[in-house]
Amino acid sequence: MDSYLIGLGNNDTKTRQEASQDFVKFWESQAKKLDWFESWNTPLEWNPPFAKWFVGGKINASYNALDVQKPDKIAIFWEGENEERQIVTYAQLLDSVQRLANGLKSLGVKKGDRITIYLPMVPELIVSILACARIGAIHTVIFSGFSAQSIKDRIVDSQSKLVITADGGYRRGKIVKLKDVVDTAISDLDFVSNVIVFQRTNHPITMTSKDIFWNVLLEKNSNICPPEKLESTHPLYILYTSGTTGKPKGVLHDTGGYLTHVSATFRWAFDIKDSDVYFCTADIGWVTGHSYVAYGPLLCGATQVMYEGAPDYPNSARMWDLIQRYKITIFYTTPTALRMFMKFGDEIPNSFDLSSLRLLGSVGEPINPEVWKWYYNIIGKTKCPIIDTWWQTETGAMMISPLPGLETIPLKPGSGAHAIPGVDLAILDESGDTVPAETKGYLVIRKPWPGMLTTLWGDDAKYKSVYWSKYKDTYYTGDYAICDKDGYFWLLGRADDVLKIAGHRIGTAELESSLVSHNLISEAAVCGIPDQIKGEVIIAFLVAKEGVSISDELRGQIMDIVRKDIGAIATPQSLYFVSKLPKTRSGKIMRRLLKAIASNEKIGDVSTLEDGAAVSEIQSAFDELQKQIRSYSFSS
């Protein structure tokens, strides 16, 4: 068997030992590494499923990220898509954060108010996040690829009174007109009192009486704004993520627990040193960007590269060029990006000097062993450990990962190894029993952990039902996993209807409701099928209304609706028109059957997977659907 470099020589056994003795005490010891204005009196209040960490403690995220760091150290090497460059020190970040924080206050923003942030990947995005944190406003960042309707839904749900955006951003050489999208999103939202506009592209935009330019606001406000001493349990942010039902859910994170978990995992996983240059390719619109671009590196005083655009723009050498130029030592990316780079061949990365690298990471979806090996051999030149980090928007930070900053263990391509210290994971069967080694089951978390979501914004009932109703007092992740004989976890993908497209979460229900909003479509069902680059792509099955003829025009209209409702990332790769959807007797769409049809699998592979449906029923639905597909399907 191939052998893989196992770590960086660290061998700290004490940390795991302490964690296994008393997980609450252990997390307290990690929390103490942060700067608190006042210590807590209760480390954990656990009223299942509601947890409060470090109750009574007072802390501020921006203070920990900036004020306590070395002022002259470089925080960000920023690289625009158009190769503009900027270097930002910790002192400069702090200056801008305090000005913006005062600016927000001058516009009437108070502790607990929600602020929506819709910005490209520019340093001002980090400044905005930390300015909110400084005054106790709750930020909700929206990925800049989302549509006006998606933004509107999120602003309405969070009742944000202010939006921070830019005139535009660059994506593959084109200007994405963000301000126009915001204008549409808030056109009838009177409760949004102001929009702060950062000028990135400088193309002409219309300013309304609500709008204020970023530069004007920062210039007229002082650069002294003492950090608000916030309760540890004070909400830090809402991040909307897709689930299996209806509209996206607002995952709510607190301050003290979240910062503890993020900073500890950043140290353990990345073995961060003062001299490191770290680069995480995630967009801050997703949770990886929140925890490991905005918060993690700054809490640990690290220097990072922040890149604005598409990873393969203007060509597929972009990432390798960045690594060579900035002498990046730690590179954290996604399997989708790696599969794409791998497709372009070894010659391109081989023509760059990647010798500065000492640690590689992967996140967001399972990494195929072939891709892992390519990453290890071609990018890491067999000298860098790879950390395959499993976690979720809801967990706040890493839960499973090799931790080279802590210990030295053999790596297995495609496995994230073990749970991090202080986290109790198990794999259960349908009835709640732990499955034996090598057996597939549902991954669950049995004890509260500091980075955990505290609830879903404004919906405790849904929080309980989505995550805590399958098993008693146990968090249900929605992922399948197995644990091998050596105790290594292998993640096997989602057990529910959440799709993972290029590592991004898309909810089936949200997409289906967008599809049926076309007046000629009566029913829709979507599923993901395997794709060599993106991991999964979306396939939609549609039932058109009686007498409707299927045309390219109709298909175009449907794609436009999805783009408008959600964004381009949610557009299906293929549309199949059928006369009826296969359903169980209880009315549930047989999604796995659709998936099997679309991926040309045999019925035998799916027959046991449909809850509550008889094999004969599935067989006849399958035969019926195949007949229809043959008679009048078409793909885009």
Among 381, 336, 340, which Cα is nearest to 363's?
336
Least spacing, CB of residue 265 vs ligand WTA, in Å: 12
Nearer to ligand WTA, 134 or 500 (CB): 500
Least spacing, CB of residue 426 vs ligand WTA, in Å: 16
- Say whether residue 415 binds ligand WTA (CB under 6 A): no
Span near ligand WTA by CB under 6 A; candidates 385-393, 523-531, 549-557, 564-572:
385-393
From CA 144, how far away is CA 165, in angstroms rounded?
A: 9
Q: Cβ(375)–Cβ(360) under 8 Å?
A: yes
HSE-CB at 41 with a 13 A cutoff on CA atoms is: 1
Exposed/middle/buried for residue 202 (C-beta within 10 Å: 0-12, 13-18, 19+): exposed
Contact map string, positions 163 to 202, toward ligand WTA, x by CB under 6 A = ----------------------------------------
Nearer to ligand WTA, 391 or 576 (CB): 391
- Say whether residue 333 binds ligand WTA (CB under 6 A): no
- Say whether residue 334 binds ligand WTA (CB under 6 A): no
SS3 content of the chain, % helix, strand, coil (to 5): 30, 25, 45
From CA 308, how far away is CA 322, in angstroms rounded?
A: 12
- Say whether residue 390 binds ligand WTA (CB under 6 A): yes
Among 99, 87, 164, 160, which Cα is nearest to 134's?
99
Structure-token pair, residue 508 = 């089936």
From CA 472, how far away is CA 386, in angstroms rounded?
A: 35
Site size with ligand WTA, rule: CB under 6 A? 22
Nearer to ligand WTA, 482 or 621 (CB): 482
Alpha carbon 244 to chain centroid distance? 16
- Say whether residue 258 binds ligand WTA (CB under 6 A): no
From CA 85, how far away is CA 72, in angstroms rounded?
A: 18
From CA 549, how far away is CA 559, in angstroms rounded?
A: 17
491, 499, 525, 618: which one binds ligand WTA (CB under 6 A):
491
Nearer to ligand WTA, 15 or 241 (CB): 241
- Binding to ligand WTA (CB under 6 A) within 466-485 occurs at 477-479
How are strands ordered across the β-sheet holding 330-333? 85-89, 74-79, 303-307, 277-280, 330-333, 359-363, 386-389
Helix (H, G, I), strand (E, B) or coil at 507: strand
- Binding to ligand WTA (CB under 6 A) within 261-300 occurs at 286-288
Among 112, 104, 144, which Cα is nearest to 125's?
144
Residue 77, amino acid: F
103, 285, 296, 366: which one binds ligand WTA (CB under 6 A):
366
Element holding 256 (H helix, E strand): helix 256-270
Least spacing, CB of residue 420 vs ligand WTA, in Å: 13
- Binding to ligand WTA (CB under 6 A) within 559-618 occurs at none
**Exposure b/e, 259-275, CB count within 10 A at least 16 = b:** bbbbbbbbbbbbbbeee
Residue 576 bridge partners (DSSP): 541
Structure-token pair, residue 346 = 């070894």
Span near ligand WTA by CB under 6 A; candidates 21-29, 189-197, 200-208, 359-367:
359-367
Least spacing, CB of residue 242 vs ligand WTA, in Å: 9
Least spacing, CB of residue 385 vs ligand WTA, in Å: 15
Contact map string, positions 497 to 526, toward ligand WTA, x by CB under 6 A = ---x----x---------------------
Neighbour count for residue 45 (Cβ, 10 Å):
14
From CA 338, how far away is CA 333, in angstroms rounded?
A: 8
- Say whether residue 536 binds ligand WTA (CB under 6 A): no
- Say whether residue 387 binds ligand WTA (CB under 6 A): no
Among 230, 226, 215, which Cα is nearest to 66's?
226
Least spacing, CB of residue 470 vs ligand WTA, in Å: 14
Query: Can you spell out the DSSP letters for 197-249?
Result: EE-SS-------TTEEEHHHHHHTS-S--PPP-EETTS--EEEEE--SSSSPE
Least spacing, CB of residue 392 vs ligand WTA, in Å: 4
30, 265, 304, 389: which one binds ligand WTA (CB under 6 A):
389
- Say whether residue 494 binds ligand WTA (CB under 6 A): yes
Nearer to ligand WTA, 167 or 388 (CB): 388
- Say whether residue 339 binds ligand WTA (CB under 6 A): no
Nearer to ligand WTA, 233 or 333 (CB): 333
243, 416, 507, 528: which one binds ligand WTA (CB under 6 A):
416
Nearer to ligand WTA, 116 or 265 (CB): 265
196, 298, 363, 590: which one binds ligand WTA (CB under 6 A):
363
Nearer to ligand WTA, 103 or 450 (CB): 450
Span near ligand WTA by CB under 6 A; candidates 85-93, 168-176, 268-276, 364-372:
364-372
Nearer to ligand WTA, 64 or 389 (CB): 389
For 351: left if phi > 0, alpha if psi spans -120 to 50, otherwise beta; the answer is alpha
Instruction: State the helix-helix crossing angle for 123-135 and 90-106, rounded to 10 degrees.
Output: 60
Among 294, 389, 285, 296, which Cα is nearest to 335's?
389
- Binding to ligand WTA (CB under 6 A) within 215-254 occurs at 241
124, 157, 183, 365: which one binds ligand WTA (CB under 6 A):
365
- Sites of contact with ligand WTA (CB under 6 A): 241, 286-288, 363-366, 388-393, 416, 477-479, 491, 494, 500, 505
